[in-house]
């Protein structure tokens, strides 16, 4: 069999470990041919490829980013909007001309949606979930999340000393447009006093009262962690900027903000993410060998499994109010803006 591998969407620690897991399993265990497709679906449109062998997949396990490059190309976007696009047809033709028996799509929600649409076009596709946001439906965890939480937690740890020294409120903005998984996990691990998630909403007056209450109890500084996707009155204003000004105005306590931005998804993957990516990549190749196409590999507890791509497409895995970290946080006095 001959398989192609591409990575699509934002870069993420662990993509290279996944490419290695898929490719080495295919080459060394199953004797398959493996090609890498550059720049996501753009590479499939242009037949921009490279042939992988064992040597070309060595030394990439610990590398961040993706050796194949990536893009946010969505070949079905125009077709779905207007019914007029040649891109799906070109991809299908190139898939056939390259002699592929299966396409492995490494990516987040948008990528898995495209993978499902390609599967409906008759292509053999296997998806591997990738996102630091941890919001791909159908899997308990995605690689990249652990690394992002580690980076965010270390940053929060470092802000405690400055906040304490200057008796300030420090507002830390982390990634998460729709899902607050990074804010929740890094906020709890970093000992944040206030954690604001897109799923829960918040009352700024209750946030300010919680900070003032801490000050009255002899705790002159506070750490506030916000996900970038929380709502603000001005859609063009960064959440951290709005929250910082609202806290300073509402409490009279000096408040500063820090936006972690792309540092959360850059750099080398954590050991946990390297192993997770390796397991998911290897299982993707097992699905190909057994001709189980149209599926996405996933984690259920500590077990690697797979689910139909049709069940994943168009869905998000969001934080729920009854999550045990929220429950425990509330018991310990953490404020979630309610």
The answer to whether 72 is a known ligand-binding residue is yes
The answer to whether 10 is a known ligand-binding residue is yes
Residues in contact with 227: Cβ distance below 8 Å, sequence separation at least 6, in sequence order: 173, 174, 175, 176, 179, 180, 182, 183, 196, 197, 198, 239
CA 120 distance to own-chain centroid:
25
The answer to whether 322 is a known ligand-binding residue is no
Q: How many whole angstroms separate alpha carbon 53 and alpha carbon 70?
A: 20
Catalytic hit among 11, 48, 53, 133: 133
The answer to whether 38 is a known ligand-binding residue is no
The answer to whether 265 is a known ligand-binding residue is yes
Sign (positive or negative) of CA dihedral 167, 182, 272, 278: negative
Q: How many whole angstroms separate alpha carbon 70 and alpha carbon 16?
A: 12
The answer to whether 55 is a known ligand-binding residue is no
Beta strand 194-196 with 295-300 is unpaired
CA distances (Å), 42 to each of 90, 125, 314, in order? 11, 17, 22
The answer to whether 127 is a known ligand-binding residue is no
The answer to whether 176 is a known ligand-binding residue is yes
101 is catalytic: no
The answer to whether 109 is a known ligand-binding residue is yes
The answer to whether 256 is a known ligand-binding residue is yes
* Residue 176, both tokens: 């998460």
Which residue positions form the known binding site for ATP? 10, 72-73, 108-111
User: Known binding site: residues?
Assistant: 10, 72-73, 108-111, 131-133, 168, 175-177, 228, 256, 262-265
Report the catalytic residues.
Answer: 133
> Known binding site for Mg(2+): residues?
109
**Residues within the annotated binding site for substrate?**
131-133, 168, 175-177, 228, 256, 262-265
């Amino acid at each position: 069999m001959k398989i192609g591998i591409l990575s699509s969407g934002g870069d993420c620690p662990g993509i290279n470990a996944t490419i290695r897991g898929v490719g080495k399993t295919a080459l060394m265990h199953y004797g398959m041919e493996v090609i890498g497709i550059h720049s996501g679906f753009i590479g499939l449109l242009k037949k921009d490829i490279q042939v992988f062998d064992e040597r070309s997949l060595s030394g990439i396990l610990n590398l961040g980013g993706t050796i194949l490059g990536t893009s946010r190309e969505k070949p079905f976007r125009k077709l779905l909007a207007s019914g007029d696009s040649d891109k799906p047809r070109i991809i299908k033709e190139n898939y056939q001309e390259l002699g592929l028996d299966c396409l492995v799509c490494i990516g987040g929600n948008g990528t898995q949606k495209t993978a499902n649409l390609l599967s409906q076009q008759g292509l053999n596709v296997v998806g591997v979930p990738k996102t630091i946001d941890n919001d791909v439906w159908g899997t308990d965890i995605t690689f990249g999340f652990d690394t992002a939480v580690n980076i965010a937690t270390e940053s929060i740890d470092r802000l405690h000393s400055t906040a304490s020294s200057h008796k300030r409120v420090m507002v830390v903005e982390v990634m998460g447009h729709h899902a607050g998984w990074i804010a929740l996990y890094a906020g709890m691990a970093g000992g944040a006093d206030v954690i604001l998630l897109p799923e829960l909403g918040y009352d700024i007056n209750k946030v300010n009262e919680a900070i003032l209450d801490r000050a009255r109890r002899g705790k002159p500084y506070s750490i506030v962690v916000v996900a970038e996707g929380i709502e603000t009155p001005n859609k063009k204003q960064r959440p951290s900027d709005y929250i910082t000004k609202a806290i300073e105005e509402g409490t009279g306590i000096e408040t500063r903000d820090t936006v972690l931005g792309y540092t959360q998804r850059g750099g080398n993957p954590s050991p946990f993410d390297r192993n997770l990516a390796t397991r998911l990549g290897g299982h993707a190749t097992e699905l190909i060998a057994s001709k189980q196409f149209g599926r996405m590999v996933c984690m259920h507890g500590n077990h690697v499994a797979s689910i139909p791509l049709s069940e994943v497409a168009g869905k998000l895995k969001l934080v729920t109010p009854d999550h045990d970290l929220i429950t425990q946080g509330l018991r310990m006095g953490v404020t979630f803006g309610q």
